[in-house]
Amino acid sequence: MKASIISAMILLLGMASASAFERQDLQKLTETGSCGGCDLRGAKLQYKDLGDANLKGANMRDSILKQINLSQAKLMEADMRRSDLEKANLTAADLEYAILQDADMEKAVMTGVNLRRTDLRSADFDGAEMENVNFQDADIRKANFKRANLTNSNFSNAKVTEVNFKRANLVGAIMTKAELNDANFTRADLKNARLQETDLRHANFYRAHLTNTDLSGARLSNASFWGADLSGANLEGVSGLNQLQLDTACGDEKTVLPGNLSISECAP
């Protein structure tokens, strides 16, 4: 019995040390504003001003980073899994190849951020400001972008399966060849978005705005367009689309449809 208790204490101590940051690394960051490759696991850095900091390859798992200023910071290859970045400022930061799996980015300001090839699985971007963000080749599966502003952001070739875009602003977004099957676009604004050759099987476009959206060559099997506005949308060469799907949507004389399909005109 005593041996079991001792073994458990050793295990707990080992887990605690494994999740603790290196104090000298935290001191270096505090004094210089940079700490590439540092161990900052679980560090409490909320409200800190680390604009333009070099944190390339840093281990920042489980860190508290609420309202931190990381604008223009170099965070390439950083491990930020499960970190709390609520209301953080990451304007123009570079996070290429970083890991943000399960991170809390609610209401973060991320305009112009580079998230190319970044792991964003199950991250929460609810209400985040993300105009002109580069998501190319990123893994975004099961992430939450509810009410996020993603105007003119680029999702080309990204894995975006089962992502929540409910009420998101995706005006002018580029999603060419992205994997968007099972994505939720309920009431999302996709005006002038580019979704050519995109996988949209089982996607939900309930009351979405798809005015002048380019969906040419997209895969639309079992996608729902109930109440969606497809005025001026281009659906040339799509696959898996049938008349029943269009019967619940509306468009106009500029809507381009394949084959003998038709669509009702939207009410003025």
Rounded distance between C-alpha atoms, residue 166 and residue 145, angstroms: 7
What is the structure's pLDDT at 14? Answer: 43
Check: CB of residue 223 under 8 Å from CB of residue 245. yes
Alpha-carbon distance values, 187 to 36, 107, 128, 223 (Å): 42, 19, 17, 14
Check: CB of residue 259 under 8 Å from CB of residue 239. no
Of 154, 205, 196, 202, the residue nearest 177 (C-alpha)? 196
In the predicted model, what is the mean pLDDT of residues 112-137?
98
What is the structure's pLDDT at 7? Answer: 45
pLDDT digits over 78-110, tens only? 999 999 999 999 999 999 999 999 999 999 999
What confidence category does residue 198 fall into, taking pLDDT thresholds of 50, 70 and 90? very high
- Average per-residue pLDDT in the chain? 92
Rounded distance between C-alpha atoms, residue 170 and residue 148, angstroms: 9
Record the pTM.
0.90
Least trusted range by pLDDT, from 7-16, 93-102, 192-201: 7-16
What is the structure's pLDDT at 116? Answer: 98
The tokens for 148 are: 């996020």
The tokens for 131 are: 């105009």
What is the structure's pLDDT at 15? Answer: 41
Check: CB of residue 201 under 8 Å from CB of residue 218. no
The tokens for 81 are: 């899994």
In the predicted model, what is the mean pLDDT of residues 110-130?
98
Check: CB of residue 186 under 8 Å from CB of residue 208. yes
Rounded distance between C-alpha atoms, residue 129 and residue 113, angstroms: 10
In the predicted model, what is the mean pLDDT of residues 151-167?
97
- Is the pLDDT at 27 greater than 50? The verdict is yes
Distance from the Cα of residue 148 to its chain's centroid: 9
What is the structure's pLDDT at 33? Answer: 82
